[in-house]
C-alpha cells in the first residue's frame, strides 16, 4: 500500500476497529496503524485477531474477542474498552456478513446473522458511544453500509434490508451526537476483493462474475480503496461531514 496520508497523521488517536480479523476491517486496521493510530481490534476469532495484531506496526495495540451479534454484548465491549483506555477518538464498524439468496429461500437464521453484528451490534455500539466518557467530543464513527441499500438486485433482499437499516442508523445518530460534534458516516461500498468476495466468485458461474463486475465502471475494488475512505472520514479532514453514506463503489451507483 502506498500511503496517501501524512505519516503519523493518526498519532495520539485511539481507534476501535470491529470485524478486524479479516477483510475490510483487517485492511483498514493495517492502514491506520501505519499512520500512527493506537488500535483496539474487535472480532470473534481470537487466533485471527492475534495474527493481525502481531502484523501491525507499533506496539500500543490490543484486541477484544467479542461476538457483536447482540446489542448488549456490543455495548459492554465498548464500555469495557473506554474503561481500560479512556475515551476513544474514532470507531470503524466493519463487522457483518453477506448473503446472496432469493428471498423465497432465505432462512430465519440467515436473516438473524445479517442483522446480528451489522445492525444489532451497531445499535449497541451507538448506545455505548452516546454516553459521556466513551468517546471524545469531536470524534468520528464510520459504519459499513453498501450500494445494496441504494440499488435493488435479485437475491439481495435480506442483505439490502440490513444495509438500509445501517444507513438509517447513520443519519439519525449523526443528528443525535451533533451537539458533541461527533461525526457519524457510512461507507456505501460496491464489490471489494476480500476473502468473502473471493468465496462468492468461486461459488458462481464466471458469466455471472463478469456481469457483476460490469456493473462497476471502474471494476471491482480493493480493500485499500475502502481503507483510505475510512481514514479520511476518521480524520480531522472530514470535520464538516456527517450523516452521509460515502459511495466507494467504482461507479456502481452512478449507472
Active-site residue list: 159
Matching residue, cell 452512478? 254
Q: How far apart are CA 223 and CA 46, in angstroms?
A: 22
DSSP string, 73-134: HHHHHHHHHHHHH-SEEEEEE---------GGG--HHHHHHHHIIIIIHHHHHHHHHTSTTT
Other CB atoms within 10 A of residue 215 CB: 18
Q: How far apart are CA 107 and CA 89, in angstroms?
A: 38
Matching residue, cell 472520514? 233
> End-to-end CA distance of the chain, in Å?
29
Residue 142 and residue 89 in contact, taking contact as beta carbons nearer than 8 Å: no
Amino acid at each position: 500500500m502506498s500511503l496517501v496520508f501524512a505519516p503519523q497523521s493518526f498519532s495520539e488517536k485511539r481507534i476501535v476497529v470491529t470485524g478486524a480479523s479479516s477483510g475490510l476491517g483487517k485492511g483498514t486496521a493495517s492502514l491506520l496503524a501505519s499512520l500512527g493510530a493506537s488500535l483496539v481490534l474487535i472480532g470473534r476469532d481470537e487466533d485471527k485477531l492475534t495474527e493481525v495484531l502481531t502484523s501491525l506496526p507499533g506496539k500500543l495495540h490490543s484486541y477484544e474477542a467479542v461476538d457483536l451479534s447482540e446489542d448488549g454484548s456490543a455495548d459492554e465491549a465498548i464500555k469495557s474498552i473506554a474503561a481500560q483506555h479512556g475515551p476513544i477518538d474514532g470507531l470503524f464498524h466493519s463487522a457483518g456478513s453477506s448473503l446472496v439468496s432469493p428471498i423465497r429461500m432465505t432462512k430465519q437464521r440467515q436473516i438473524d446473522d445479517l442483522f446480528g453484528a451489522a445492525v444489532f451490534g451497531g445499535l449497541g455500539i451507538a448506545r455505548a458511544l452516546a454516553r459521556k466518557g466513551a468517546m471524545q467530543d469531536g470524534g468520528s464513527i464510520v459504519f459499513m453500509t453498501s450500494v445494496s441499500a441504494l440499488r435493488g438486485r435479485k437475491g439481495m433482499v435480506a442483505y439490502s434490508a440490513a444495509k438500509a437499516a445501517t444507513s438509517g442508523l447513520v443519519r439519525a445518530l449523526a443528528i443525535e451526537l451533533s451537539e458533541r460534534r461527533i461525526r457519524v458516516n457510512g461507507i456505501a461500498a460496491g464489490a471489494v476483493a476480500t476473502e468473502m468476495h473471493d468465496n462468492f466468485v468461486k461459488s458462481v458461474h464466471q458469466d455471472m462474475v463478469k456481469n457483476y463486475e460490469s456493473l462497476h465502471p471502474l471494476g471491482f475494488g480493493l480493500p485499500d480503496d475502502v481503507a483510505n475512505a475510512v481514514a479520511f472520514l476518521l480524520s480531522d479532514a472530514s470535520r464538516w461531514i456527517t450523516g452521509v453514506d460515502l459511495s466507494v463503489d467504482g461507479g456502481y451507483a452512478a449507472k
